[in-house]
Amino acid sequence: MFAKVVAVSLLTLASGQLLAAECKVTVDSTDQMSFNTKAIEIDKSCKTFTVELTHSGSLPKAVMGHNWV
């Protein structure tokens, strides 16, 4: 009985994590100043939102990724 209660509790906690809003997005840029994301939608439940900018091209990242709005 105790094992069943623990199992149900763990499943309930895990499902809450799965249903949580994604409050982070990764945007990748190339050497041609193109991005893999055209739009970003932020869930209303997010108190903060993180944007991670990555660069998959060969030019130095200090040169690329600017002018992203």
Rounded CA separation 31/4 (Å): 54
Number of separate domains in the chain: 1
Number of CB atoms found within 10 A of residue 65's CB: 18
- pLDDT at res. 43: 92
Query: In the structure, what pLDDT confidence band is assigned to residue 66 with cuts at 50, 70 and 90?
Result: low
Query: Is 16 within a domain?
Result: no
Query: Is 4 within a domain?
Result: no
pTM (2 decimals)? 0.59
Query: Is 44 within a domain?
Result: yes
- How far does Cα 8 stand from its chain's mean position? 28
> 26: helix, coil or strand?
strand
| pLDDT tens-digit map of 16-55 | 444 567 899 999 988 888 889 889 999 999 999 999 988 8
Which residues constitute the domain of residue 31? 21-69
Cα within 13 Å of Cα(68), Cβ side: 23
